[in-house]
């Protein structure tokens, strides 16, 4: 994506998304968010994160008290 593409997207934002988007961009500019981690905001990764949160909410997750307990469950 180029800056021109980004400007086009900003122009197409619905009014109720402007404030949240501007806060996000400001945090990137202030280096409060690491630009090298922007992959997490891609459509693909947002879908993966949503699926993992759904698994957690549905109880499809296992918690281990220690690394040793986790490794023992693998064997």
Stronger pLDDT, 17 or 35, i.e. the higher one: 17
What is the pTM for the complete model shown? 0.54
Q: What is the mean pLDDT of residues 48-55?
A: 96
Q: What is the mean pLDDT of residues 41-51?
A: 93
Helices (H), ranges, the chain: 3-12, 15-29, 43-57, 67-74
Residue 29's pLDDT is: 87
Residue 44's pLDDT is: 95
CB atoms under 10 Å from CB of 39, counted, come to 8
């Amino acid at each position: 994506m180029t800056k021109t593409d980004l400007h086009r997207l900003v122009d197409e934002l619905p009014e109720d998304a402007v404030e949240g988007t501007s806060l996000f961009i400001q945090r990137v500019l202030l280096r409060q968010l690491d630009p090298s981690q922007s992959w997490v905001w891609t459509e693909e990764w947002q879908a993966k994160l949503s699926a993992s949160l759904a698994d957690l909410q549905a109880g499809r997750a296992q918690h281990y008290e220690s690394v040793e307990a986790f490794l023992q469950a693998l064997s």
